[in-house]
Every structure is written in structure tokens, then in C-alpha cells.
Amino acid sequence: MKIDLTGKVALVTASTGGIGFAIARGLAESGAEVIVNGRSTESVNKGIQQLQQVVPGVQVRAAVADLSAPDGVDAVLRAASRVDILVNNAGIYGQKDFYSTDDETWETYWQTNVMSGVRLSRALLPGMVQKGWGRVVFISSESACNIPADMIHYGVTKTAQLALARGLAKFVAGSGVTVNSVLPGPTMSDGFASMMKDEMEKTGKSLEQLAKEFVMANRPSSVIQRAATVEEVANMVVYVCSTQASATSGAALRVDGGVVDDII
């Protein structure tokens, strides 16, 4: 199978680093024009430079905006009027005790992890439906199924993304536009690395080693018994954005290394 996305325009939110950058790279390597989004001009320019280094000749555009509020989404839409592929990757996470998670924190998580995708889908789906082709992907998490007791606020937003993706898939049924969720498990992204930074300095262990220990201690049901790489997650996303994935819609696709102990 050869994935060819030549002529398609892909908006990947929060794509200056982590899983988002790997997705932008994978889509660009398949020929898509990519819109890189991040919160500062500096981070977006850096992301674009990195992309140009690894994918020479890539067609790339910048969309600087914080997606946690409606005006940020509007700013992205101004930079991205025509989009064939929307990957809702922007998401924040962190451990927090339920009792000390205040309303403001809940609201920030809801706005960033759920409403950014609601707003972008509402604005960009009509163009895709009109053309009869489009791809929308929500980067959810295995935490959508295995709600972590120390990150309930996060888990709730990730489950909401599954409901949103499934509902939207049905909303655009028969249009040629597919809507899916991808559920990574523990993945060695930039965010994950900064969560592990203190531990790396304290123990002198590599990120891979600490990530493996994290998985064995906190996600012992993992079948691969290690964390995934960002490229492993991106591969699934690129496939589901391909023309070949036309019969996959309304699905929740796991790249969790088998952490969720369920057959289906």
C-alpha cells in the first residue's frame, strides 16, 4: 500500500512537537501540504524548520494560535480556510487529585481538549462534505477507557472526544468524509519527556528505560510492555487519513500497545 496525499491540505493542531509533529511529518512525507499550529511564533517557526529539514520540499504553512479559546480557533481558521484533513491533536494532561481539581482547571481541560475540536470541526466539516472527501481525527487516549484515578479531569475529556467523533461520523454519514478517534497509550512525546525530566536527572536513566518502568508500574496490562514512539502513533493517524481508509469511520482505533484489556 502506498499512501499518497498529494493535493490535500492537512491541519494538525499542536504540531510543533510531540505526537503532533510526528503526525505532521507523516502526512507531509505522504505528500500533503501541512499547516503547523502552536502557541508562539517562535515554536511554530522552529517546528516548520524541523519539518523542512526532515521532509525537503514540504509545502507548509503557519497557524500561530492558542486553541483553548474561541478567538484562537478563529485565528487558525483565518490561516486555514481550505482543509481536507483535520487532526485534533491539541491536548493537555497532568496528574491532579480530584479534590483539588477546581472549576477553573476543569474548564481549561474542557476548552482545550474538547471545545477546540468541536469548533474546528463545526467550521471545517461543511467544506469537506461539499467536496465529498475529508478526514477528521481526534487524538484521544487509552485514558478515555481506563479513566486514571489521578487524572479524572483528563479522562473525562478524552471520553468526550470519543463521543464527539462517533457522533460526527454519523452526522456526516454517506458524505465521503470520515471521522475517527485514535487512542494512544503511554507515548514518548515531548510532554511525556518533561514529565519524566526530574526522574531522568535523579536516576541517570534513559527516557526509554523510565518510560518502560512507568508502563510496567502504571499500565501493567500493556502487551508491548513499553511506551510507544511518537512515530508509531503517527503511522496509525496517517493511515486513517489516507484514501485507502475510506471504510473506517466512527471508529476508536487503539495504538495503546494493548493496555486496554479488551478484545474489541
**Residues at the contact surface with ligand NAD, assessed by CB under 6 A:** 14, 16-20, 37-39, 66-68, 89-93, 112, 139, 141, 184, 186-187, 189-192
Q: What distance in Å separates the CA atoms of residue 11 and residue 36, rounded to the nearest whole number?
A: 7
Give the integer Cα–Cα distance in Å for 192 and 60.
26
Q: Is 154 a catalytic residue?
A: yes
For the bound state, the minimum distance from the C-beta of residue 222 to ligand NAD, rounded and expressed in Å, comes to 12
The least CB distance from residue 189 to ligand NAD, in Å, is 3
Contact (Cβ atoms closer than 8 angstroms) between residue 23 and residue 12: yes
- Determine how many CB atoms are found less than 10 A away from the CB of residue 41: 10
CB of 174 to ligand NAD, least distance (A): 29
CB of 81 to ligand NAD, least distance (A): 19
Return the number of the residue (1 or 217) whose C-beta is nearest ligand NAD.
217
Nearest CA-CA partner of 226 in 201, 239, 207, 252: 207
> Which residue, 1 or 104, is less far from ligand NAD as judged by CB?
104
Report the 10 Å Cβ neighbour count for 132. 9
Of the pair 17, 26, the CB lying nearest ligand NAD is at 17
CA distances from 89 to 97, 182, 212, 247 (A): 25, 10, 24, 22
Q: Which is nearer to ligand NAD, 32 or 230 (CB)?
A: 230
User: Helices 116-131 and 152-171 meet at what angle, rounded to 10?
Assistant: 20
d(CA 45, CA 76): 15
Strands (DSSP E) along 89-157, which ranges?
A: 134-139
Indicate which residue of 93, 99, 109, 154 is catalytic: 154
Q: Which is nearer to ligand NAD, 139 or 145 (CB)?
A: 139
> Which DSSP symbol is given to 245?
G
**What is the torsional sign of CA 54, 59, 35, 155?**
negative
Of the candidates 151, 178, 158, 173, the residue with the CA atom closest to the CA atom of residue 237: 178
- Asked whether the beta carbons of 258 and 222 are under 8 A apart, the reply is yes
Q: Closer CB to ligand NAD, residue 134 or residue 257?
A: 257
In the bound complex, what is the minimum distance in angstroms from residue 29's beta carbon to ligand NAD? 18
- What DSSP character marks residue 3? -
Nearest distance in Å: CB 38, ligand NAD: 6
Residues classed as catalytic: 154
